[in-house]
Amino acid sequence: MRYLYLLILLSGYAVAQNGDMHNKGEVYVFPNTLVSVKSSFFNEPTATFINDGEVYLYDDLKNDGILDFIEDSGLTIFKGSHIQKIHGSQPIYFNDILFQNTSEEAPFHLYNQINAYGLVNFSNGIVHNDNLGGTFVFREKAAHTNTSDFSHVNGIVEKIGDKDFIYPIGDGGYYRFAAVKTIDTLINYQIKYYLKNSDDLFPHNLRSGIVSLINNKEYWTIDPTGPEQDIMISLSWREETSQEEIIAAPKEDNIHIVRWDVETNMWVDEGGIVNINEKTVTTGVSKFGVFTLARVKGNENLPCEIIVYNAVTPNNDGVNDYFRIDNTNNTCAQNLNVQIFNRWGVKVFESKNYGVEGNVFRGYSEGRSTLNSDNLLPSGTYFYVLNYEYESDNGLKHQKKAGYLFLSGN
């Protein structure tokens, strides 16, 4: 590697003003070339800066021009000894990024938009964009590593892509990820974590009947920046941040995800599949906004006494040939919607009126999962999400349930 400590200008010029570096021309950093900028670096409105090598930034970065890369080899390293501001009027495009600054708990102050296309290494130092107007965007192939309590994003993170993604978010010095498993097409979602009680903004006494207790220490916001689509989400819990009464003695069905529903002005149950080892709860959602964890009434029967038979063996022997959902009062549950996802979050089946005229899941796919010649899905574990309505003394109510489905077909 060649080590250079001066910017190589293709055209235009760079000048030092008050000890800072101002680029007003066009700069290209070749692959296998290292550039080190000891002072604040200002990329002016007339400037273009392309990094396909390695660029060390020891102070602030302000971009009002074009700051981008061409090859996949570009690496930008933030390695200061005091707070580093990342700001400017134009978005920034990076390939790989390394954050390495131990001067403060949150040494990176993001006022601009970072677009990451490669690997983001959160080696040390929290990227703070909460209330600063900045956004951290992970593009289609972007990923992150070394995320921890000491290095994550405190604020909004957006993901663009069609792959499942763990959002590297946190607050108050805690890494508190949320995960999204996407479906068939390119989607955009922003997620932010709040280490605070949601009760003041979204009263916990306004909740659906099955919910007994709502987390009073933390919540997440999940919002689409493109068209809304059904997705699978996972929220995590930690002893240090989550309400003790919520996470005490977790079982497979006693912790759910709840969402503040603006239409009904109350918290509604979104269901949940508990993974005790990973300390996560997973469910499918089609509406968005504010989410958190809640305790549900585990010893109370679901409305309509719906029974789910979660084993499917489509071998035409008359036993579990399809996904059976029974309710003792056939007039109780209305508009039964069933969604089935594979382990990667791909929706393989959906029915908006399940069980009517033979419309049931028999182990065959309607999505883009790996198939054999007759479209029979591979054996394994799948997720199901049920939505239905039922009549109560207070009018029509909505109920949701999520769980595992075991398919053994080939």
Last residue of a domain, which of 233, 264, 296? Answer: 296
The torsion region of residue 270 among left (phi > 0), alpha (psi -120 to 50) and beta comes to alpha
* Strands laid side by side in the 61-63 sheet: 14-17, 20-23, 41-43, 61-63, 84-87, 108-110, 127-128, 153-154
Contact predicate 402/388, CB 8 Å: no
- The residues pairing with 376 across neighbouring beta strands, listed in sequence order, are 364
Identity (one letter) of the amino acid at 252?
E
Identity (one letter) of the amino acid at 358?
G
| Tokens 């999204």 sit on residue | 180
Last residue of a domain, which of 273, 296, 319? Answer: 296
Neighbours of 116 (CB within 10 A): 21
232 and 142 in one domain? yes
Neighbours of 115 (CB within 10 A): 18
Please report the sign of the dihedral spanned by the C-alpha atoms of residue 191, residue 196, residue 202, residue 206.
Answer: positive
313 and 289 in one domain? no
- In sequence order, the 6+-apart residues with CB closer than 8 A to the CB of 24 are 12, 13, 14, 15, 44, 46, 47
135 and 25 in one domain? yes
383 and 264 in one domain? no
Neighbours of 410 (CB within 10 A): 12
Last residue of a domain, which of 229, 261, 296? Answer: 296
141 and 6 in one domain? yes
Contact predicate 292/222, CB 8 Å: no
What secondary structure letter does DSSP report for 118?
S
267 and 371 in one domain? no
User: How far does the chain reach from its first CA to its final CA, in angstroms?
Assistant: 54
Rg of the Cα trace of the chain? 25
244 and 104 in one domain? yes
For residues 79 and 77, what is the distance between their CA atoms, to the nearest angstrom? 6
Averages of pLDDT over runs of 10 residues in the chain (410 residues) are 44 59 93 93 96 97 98 95 97 98 96 98 97 96 97 97 90 96 72 97 90 96 86 92 92 86 91 87 89 80 68 77 71 83 81 83 68 68 85 75 77
257 and 173 in one domain? yes
Sequence-ordered strand ranges (E) for 5-148: 9-11, 14-17, 20-23, 26-29, 33-37, 41-43, 48-51, 54-57, 61-63, 66-68, 75-78, 84-87, 92-94, 96-100, 108-110, 113-116, 119-124, 127-128, 135-138, 143-145
95 and 50 in one domain? yes
90 and 145 in one domain? yes
CA angle 273, 146, 285 (to 5 degrees): 25
- pTM comes to 0.80
237 and 218 in one domain? yes
pLDDT at 330: 56
309 and 284 in one domain? no
CATH classification at residue 319: 2.60.40
| Domains: count for the chain | 2
For residues 183 and 181, what is the distance between their CA atoms, to the nearest angstrom? 7
3-state secondary structure of 240: coil
3-state secondary structure of 303: helix
Full residue range of the structural domain in which residue 387 is found: 303-407
The phi, psi pair for 305, rounded to 5°, reads 50, 45
